[in-house]
Structure 1
């Protein structure tokens, strides 16, 4: 049947596509539908139509799939945080592995790569050590709230409806962060609602309260609260801080980030310490790391240890090698490998990350990690010795082709590539495949109930 825009159809979902959307193929024509499970028969409306594919919006499920299970979260059908809760975790892992295999084969044209089973996350709920909630003066109402005339579309704190920048669901119970975080958030919500100060309006660019960021240290079971506001108001922030500290002994740090940026970005232009220290201490293996409000740290601490264990295994260090870590961030991988290598160099372009990396090295008493600040293609020549192993852990967009050129020019014996995006992993491995054999890829699940997957690839120089 010909698929037309703005028309409705009953479709059978036969698969999950990369990106997490259900796939139907009426007469062989691909139609992608979000929030579906293979085996569902669904009623959809086509809202986007291209020459070779279309997207449909789910109206209702006509016949649910035998795979479909009840999501734990009441916001699951509307919030973009963890859409795969209706799929059993074992099946999530199967689809994640297949997405890695298919990306390598179809994007990277690497058809014979051995892809291992996904290393699972021990915790599939309460696993995130950082959550960022937006404050809104006009929250998005749930269907049951729309039916109640007494409920007004007023203030809320929560997560965005996918595809929107100003529609926020008022989240009272998020299952992917530790449970105490919900109690902390509820206390903040009540205070903000009674404060007399408005939440920020992203269209009018007015209002005081912008974001609430919560961080949790697994090692010490301590919390950081980062209150992001549009301007300074020490009386109000200190009053909220006093209330939080009195109620929650686990809160060891409260900061106020201030920003007047018109975009919806939570990083402050100024940071004021309100209570305790300006950082948390987290541990990976035997190493400690300082985590400040705006520093990057992997959001699943326990799974991160599994990821870095695989990096260690693939690197195969015996204490005699020089290692170069590209996109070294706050130094977590160099520090993790420091006891196994002769010397490690890290390159990172973000100044604050380099500062954090050097502090973390000092915190752990490590003397064989050196961090170079700048763009990789400019700083590569400052590395004083040829590396035996290069670790590459780029952002989602992958490596710039100039960086690939530098890697090939240095031509180390071994490369360990860590990726959070199977598509750019496949693209980059194809660019390296002229000189390197991809021996093995191991996916590691850092983000249960989402389609996201980390992967570690082992590349060895061809003879």
Structure 2
């Protein structure tokens, strides 16, 4: 795709912007095969491609400039705003909200934060769009100076947003390179943004995590569900379960499913989805994945792991090796830590892998691997 911001060197976040997409995808497959070359029995399925543009369902936009002339985008090396409201990788539904954001900055006289001077109030606007078209808008403020104005303007703001949208205000008083603070106040009656991937209702709370590419996330969940259903286990654990994507997709009659996640908000969102699906034998718990496994006192037939970039812990690998778990499905956003963990899981054979291109125009990708326990 063509990006004028990239051509003008205003934004270089998408490092592969000038590389043809087919070549991008092939290089990611080759990189993954190279990193997992020590597993000769591993067969690679065709990679899951993505749309080249408009694929990002989330936009984390820095607000800079002035009340009369705000920039919505990123900061340069000197801390000055670069406007990226026409960014081509951001979903069209989100780009359509940017003029509304600017309008309310004008009307409410919101003061953009000046990073070099450490003055101002409005730091970021974080937007997420679901596959239903609803959006979540999170205003990130330094203090509560503008909170009343934002709260009182909610009816007029919601009139301009799609139905079932969510609006909140987050407070980030510190001067540091993070996007959000701990305190969040949801202004709307609706508290979660609902997705419907593959017909499975999934809920996202303001501080929760959701894959940034809905199209490829849906394919990722379908792949895991297929492998689980092929093995047809009676019990499944989804460790590092987030809002329950894998667990909810793999739930079935006569199958016990547990989702384990440290974030209490993500667990609440997953429980909302399970209730909507009228699932009785699916259970979500806010706990560390390794701690849960070591203390459970029993093992399921199959385990799904979707850890952060650092991978799973050595203790969890040891527990899995000594357990009765017959199948592991490992979804990874870092093939380097994945390779290390597959080496640790010495009692399992990686058999199938598939690169999922969650992040076009960059070197990053997701990969999902199926492992089978070796015969005794």
What TM-score does the superposition give when structure 2 sets the normalisation length? 0.89
Residues 288-327 of structure 1: pairs in structure 2 closer than 5 A:
288-317=201-230, 319-327=232-240
Q: What secondary structure is seen at the aligned counterpart in 1 of 2:56?
A: coil
1:120 aligns with 2:49: yes
1:392-415 Cα deviation digits (max 9, x unpaired)? 111111112122112212241111
Query: Closer, same or farther in 2 for the Cα pair 1:86/1:459, shift >3 Å?
Result: same
Larger RCO (alpha carbons 8 Å, 6+ apart): 2
Q: What secondary structure is seen at the aligned counterpart in 2 of 1:430?
A: helix
Q: What secondary structure is seen at the aligned counterpart in 2 of 1:100?
A: helix
Q: What secondary structure is seen at the aligned counterpart in 2 of 1:86?
A: coil
Gap runs ≥5 in structure 1: 1-69, 139-153
Distance (Å, rounded) in 2 between the aligned partners of 1:337 and 1:198: 47
Per-residue deviation at 1:229?
Answer: 0.7
1:88-136 Cα deviation digits (max 9, x unpaired)? 211111011011011112xxx3355322331112x22212211111123
Q: What secondary structure is seen at the aligned counterpart in 2 of 1:387?
A: coil
CA radius of gyration, larger in: 1
1:88 aligns with 2:20: yes
Cα RMSD for the two superposed structures: 2.6
In the other structure, the counterpart of 1:129 is 57
Distance (Å, rounded) in 2 between the aligned partners of 1:114 and 1:332: 25
Distance (Å, rounded) in 2 between the aligned partners of 1:268 and 1:303: 29
In the other structure, the counterpart of 1:348 is 261
Q: Which moved more, 1:312-321 or 1:396-405?
A: 312-321
Query: Closer, same or farther in 2 for the Cα pair 1:372/1:278, shift >3 Å?
Result: closer
In the other structure, the counterpart of 1:333 is 246
Q: How many residues align?
A: 372
Distance (Å, rounded) in 1 between the aligned partners of 2:49 and 2:333: 15
Do the aligned residues in 2 keep the contact of 1:97 with 1:117 (CA within 8 Å)?
A: no
Per-residue deviation at 1:282?
Answer: 0.8
Do the aligned residues in 2 keep the contact of 1:322 with 1:387 (CA within 8 Å)?
A: yes
What TM-score does the superposition give when structure 1 sets the normalisation length? 0.74
1:104 aligns with 2:27: no
1:377-432 Cα deviation digits (max 9, x unpaired)? 32224435321111111111111212211221224111111011111111111111
Distance (Å, rounded) in 2 between the aligned partners of 1:165 and 1:226: 25
Do the aligned residues in 2 keep the contact of 1:373 with 1:379 (CA within 8 Å)?
A: no
Distance (Å, rounded) in 1 between the aligned partners of 2:61 and 2:45: 35
Of 119, 134, 137 in structure 2, the residue corresponding to residue 222 of structure 1 is 134
Q: Which moved more, 1:342-351 or 1:192-201?
A: 192-201
Query: Closer, same or farther in 2 for the Cα pair 1:118/1:160, shift >3 Å?
Result: farther
Residues 273-292 of structure 1: pairs in structure 2 closer than 5 A:
273-292=186-205
Residues 416-431 of structure 1: pairs in structure 2 closer than 5 A:
416-431=329-344
Of 363, 366, 375 in structure 2, the residue corresponding to residue 451 of structure 1 is 363
Distance (Å, rounded) in 1 between the aligned partners of 2:80 and 2:237: 43
Distance (Å, rounded) in 1 between the aligned partners of 2:12 and 2:316: 33
Query: Closer, same or farther in 2 for the Cα pair 1:422/1:319, shift >3 Å?
Result: closer
Query: Closer, same or farther in 2 for the Cα pair 1:302/1:206, shift >3 Å?
Result: same
